[in-house]
Chain A
Amino acid sequence: MIYLDYASTTPIDPIIIKHLSSYFSNFANTSSLHQSGQKAKKILEKNRKNIAKFIKADPSEIIFTSSATESNNTVLKGIAFANKNKGNHIIISSIEHDCILNSADWLKTQGFKITKIPVDKFGRVNPSDVKKSITKKTILVSIMHANNEIGTIEPIEEIGKICCKLNIYFHTDASQTFGKIPINVKKMNIDLLTASSHKVYGPKGIALLYIKKGTNITPLLHGGGHENTLRSSTVNLPLVSAFAKTATIRHSELVSESQRLFKLRHHLIKNILKKIPNSHLNGHLKFSLPNIASFRFDNVEGESILLKLDQLGIAVSTGSACSSNNLKPSHVLLACGLKPSQTHGSIRISFGRWTTKKEINYLIKVLPKIIKDLRRLSPF
């Protein structure tokens, strides 16, 4: 199989798999006072320290959660409820992941007001739109670092500056960027940040949330007071160890890997747009993750392309969601100004650590014929 769906999840790094059984042998509860418990606690804190430095945070500012979805839910609900005496207004972008959008929708039912900032045709938020939307009641701005469907990178440093000046909490969902492009929470004025292990060759079920010291936030899970009382649950040390290890490997090769992937992406885009008539790139050529390229083909449907590629052993994803359990056009592509009929012909190619140029060339070789065949079937 040629796996080109790294943005949905990544294969686990073989080095991590090799270490997993040793990670699982440290089974003790990190809250226990006996020697095994204290040893586990020590490993936990070492991992926390390790991972914190990759985003230039203090170790005490990192809590581990079960998923990016949990981290994002914690931010939206936790900031909203802890700060409702200050205001009830939250700003997000219109292209956030469903876990932000649906948390925000739920908060609406609890009396909070949500503003969704539009994006331009490349999927970029304009920081001045954020500034204009801020009111006296605004308590949180949450804008993703890069979009998962089209790869566009958002100007979060500028947005962070605006929020910092006005003393409003700024959160960014860095699920797609952590371990792929540099993050500096201090320089970028980020108060809260979400990152996940399974997007960077680690196991599923483990993620992190960076919460700047002094941030007023209510936990989602109440219990034994783990993770500085912000996330009760016995700490999943084996997965934390795996997450920290993969983060270390990713950051040791971050520059070389992102340069390699950017070249691959450029090669792919250049060839697809050249070889397939009436094809378009969704997203931005430059302000983009190095490993996501979303394409749109006129008069073809994305799911049909996906299944034809699947038959040839190439795994991709549709840009539009007309695939499994949702027929609605992609909210991201609609936000970029496309008509519903235009959004349906999109596919997302996302690659990573083990993608080779040979694999990309195979895709470039077979895709034009698939599009041609499907267009022959179409009345247009």
Chain B
Amino acid sequence: MYSKKVLDHFQNPRNRGQIKNPDGIGKVGNIVCGDVMYLYIKIAKNKKNQPIIKDIKFQTLGCAAAIANSSIITELAKNKTVNQALKINKSTIVKSLGGLPPIKIHCSLLAIDAFAQAVYDYLSKSNQKIPEKLIKIHQRIEKEQSLNL
């Protein structure tokens, strides 16, 4: 049911663990499947003085798809500028994983949410302007999580 790529990321997750003093943390959970995902990011500036994802790590409690999605998003986002990384979407992830069973597609949405939340956290902590899109995602997740409680 899972592609070789998914199983590889599940068996050998990249960038797992925590970052000490991260610049942003994204914590999301999905009550349907019971998956919980934490993403940590460390920001630096590139030569053009744009913020980039210098380091990114994850901690996930979940099924193989949830773990593989967490792993691949860290790989896709690492060393990209924040703006480039925010463009990672469901189809990028699913393609990079060599496909996902339809019922597990929501796991990639969870990974995207976790990353968006981490960037939101970084921007708000560093008093920067937060794009409208991120505010909307943040509000939706806050609402979903309050419903879960």
A118 interfacial contact with B, CB 8 Å: no
Which of chain A's residues have a CB closer than 8 A to the CB of B33?
322, 327, 344
A298 to B55, CA, bound (A): 29
A379 interfacial contact with B, CB 8 Å: yes
B85 interfacial contact with A, CB 8 Å: no
A324 adjacent to B60 (CB under 8 Å): no
Q: Give the A interface residue count (CB, 8 A).
A: 25
B60 adjacent to A377 (CB under 8 Å): yes
Q: Give the B interface residue count (CB, 8 A).
A: 26
A16 interfacial contact with B, CB 8 Å: no
B64's contact among A304, A341, A376, by CB below 8 Å, is which? A304
The stretch from B7-15, B121-129, B135-143 touching chain A is: B7-15
B34 interfacial contact with A, CB 8 Å: yes
Most chain B beta carbons < 10 A, residue from A343, A376, A378: A378
A329 interfacial contact with B, CB 8 Å: yes
B64 adjacent to A377 (CB under 8 Å): no
B1 interfacial contact with A, CB 8 Å: yes
A303 adjacent to B61 (CB under 8 Å): no
B34 adjacent to A378 (CB under 8 Å): no
Name A281-311 residues within 8 Å CB distance of B: 299-301, 303-304, 307-308, 311
- The digit string for B10-49, where 1 denotes a CB below 8 A from any CB of A, is 1101001000000000010001111111100000000000
A379 adjacent to B64 (CB under 8 Å): no
B62's contact among A301, A326, A328, by CB below 8 Å, is which? A301
A377 to B31, CA, bound (A): 19
Which of chain A's residues have a CB closer than 8 A to the CB of B10?
304, 307
B130 interfacial contact with A, CB 8 Å: no
A377's contact among B2, B67, B101, by CB below 8 Å, is which? B67
A300 to B13, CA, bound (A): 16
Most chain B beta carbons < 10 A, residue from A311, A325, A340, A377: A377
Given A307-B10, A340-B34, are A322 and B63 also a contact pair (CB < 8 Å)? yes
Nearest B residue (CB) for A378: B61
A325 to B33, CA, bound (A): 12
Given A300-B61, A329-B34, are A311 and B103 also a contact pair (CB < 8 Å)? no
Nearest A residue (CB) for B60: A377
B79 interfacial contact with A, CB 8 Å: no
Given contacts A301-B34, A340-B34, A378-B61, 9 further A-B contacts (CB under 8 A): A304-B64, A326-B103, A327-B103, A341-B34, A344-B33, A376-B16, A379-B36, A379-B37, A380-B61
Nearest 10 Cβ contacts at the A-B interface: A379-B59, A344-B34, A378-B61, A303-B63, A379-B38, A327-B33, A307-B64, A301-B63, A301-B62, A327-B32
